[in-house]
Chain A
Amino acid sequence: MKKNYMARTVTEILIRLLFFILMPAAFSSGFLGIKLLFTSIGKGETLNIGSLWILIGLSVFTIVFGRFFCGFVCAFGTLGDAVYAASGFVQRKILKRKKQLSIPEKPTVVLQKIKYLILFVIAVLCVFDIYKSLSGYSPWDVFSRLMVFRLPGDAYWAGSIILLLILIGMVFKKRFFCQFLCPMGALFSLLPVLPVSKIQRNERNCIKGCNACRKNCPVHIKAGENILRDGECIACEKCIGVCPKKNLTQPEKKLIKNELFLLVIKAALVFVMGICLGFCRFF
């Protein structure tokens, strides 16, 4: 069991690292589609399908496989994971805390709604064509600049400060940006996911009072419950990896038995899509 868990952790980290290097701007390329969509609508112009392909591609992928993009591909998600892990290391090893300081469940569930508001506000700003004059406020733009080893410049001071605040937030909550602030995540969580890709829990085999899956969920989803909020699931598969009885599965696993292989297949699909739609660096 331990060996399995290690293999999964290593695979997950490799996939995230690879996408972090290859597709650091995938999220902003996809979100650009949303901005252009609402800008066109605001002007009463026809929608330019050519500029929406990345958005459409990522949305279709999310509908078929769940938010694998959020869980493994998005560079901002990986950044959040890394910052939170580093924070945990510091807290335990240096500050000698037993438990890592983190925002508890109840406020988390409320804070998760902020991202829908952000998506809505950005959409409205685009409709009234105000957004483009506010690009200096975008932490994503600052991050994109940094990823290509460029300093963001004076015009981005506000975005830089916001990015800094987000990084501080990442210290205190796993996937802080993803679950609270990400407008792309808000859109993805509103998309339906094919039932075959939903994680399900076989409760009959559970160890009484274990709930390791629920306790380890970064977005506080109760595995086994079917609720509207399950759109919050970022398909990080933490619950699958942590379950001592291997009780969590996706129906799609009936087709491909090896769960790590399934992860690699999904990653490969995103990679191919990235090359085809042109949001993959170096290729």
Chain B
Amino acid sequence: MTLLITLFAAIITTIIWYTRAGARELKIGTLGLMFWGASIMWTVDAIFGFAEEGADFFVPTSGKILNDAFLGFSVVALGLLIWTVIMVAKDPKGIIRSIR
């Protein structure tokens, strides 16, 4: 579930990066790359999980689904937080500099 949520976040971010010039200016590519990196890592985790558990890997309990979904959304939130900090620090539109 965590892999799925992160993968969806990566795909959505990539689509936004591809279609919106304004988002590219805000370094959304950085967010996309972070999600892709995490998705690749969790894919490896899933491969090893499948190798260990077999078909049971695809039949998680409802409790595990809920916990993994909660973790997935937390991961997306952390990614967004890191991106926000990078964006504010780099200030690509010069908003912060204009305030000072």
Partners in one complex: no
Task: Give B residues with C-beta under 8 Å from A.
Answer: none
